[in-house]
Amino acid sequence: MKKIYFLLFMVVHVGVYAQDTIDFNNLRNDEIAGFKLYPNPVLADVVYVSTEKNNLKDVRVYDVFGELVLTDRLSTKAMNISRLSPGVYVIQVTENKKSITRKLVVK
């Protein structure tokens, strides 16, 4: 019984120290100002990505396994997602060396 508690303690102990720390102050400075992703969840073949400056944006969409499934360079707000199957995705938008990542649900 002591061995089980010792192993459990070691797993929890190592797990606590393996966590990364996040500096939320720096995170805010690196995000894109005025970022909007709508509609979300998406029912149609178009999703709109807008920012405060609406400059040229590089967009990457990943599936739940982390595989890149769609890339696009947007000069407008509209992005065609007709190739995506219904599911949950992660969208990463980069504009002027700043990046933001959000969840995207396609129905």
Percent of the chain residues topping a pLDDT of 70: 72
- Which pLDDT value is given to residue 27? 46
- Structure tokens, 73: 């360079």
Is the pLDDT confidence value at 99 over 50?
yes
Query: Do the domain assignments include residue 12?
Result: no
Q: For the chain, how many structural domains are there in total?
A: 1
Which residues have C-beta within 8 Å of that of residue 78, sequence separation ≥ 6?
A: 46, 47, 48
Straight-line distance from the first to the last Cα atom of the chain, in angstroms, rounded to the nearest whole number: 49
- Structure tokens, 47: 């999703």
Read off the pLDDT of residues 6-48 as tens digits, 9 standing for 90 and up.
444 444 444 444 444 444 444 455 689 999 999 999 999 999 9
- Which pLDDT value is given to residue 30? 66
- Which pLDDT value is given to residue 95? 96
Structural domain of 76: 23-106
User: What CATH number corresponds to the domain at position 55?
Assistant: 2.60.40.3080
- Which pLDDT value is given to residue 25? 47
Query: Do the domain assignments include residue 102?
Result: yes
Mean residue pLDDT of the chain comes to 82
> Is this structure's pTM higher than 0.75?
no
- Mean pLDDT for the stretch of residues 51-78: 96
Query: Do the domain assignments include residue 14?
Result: no
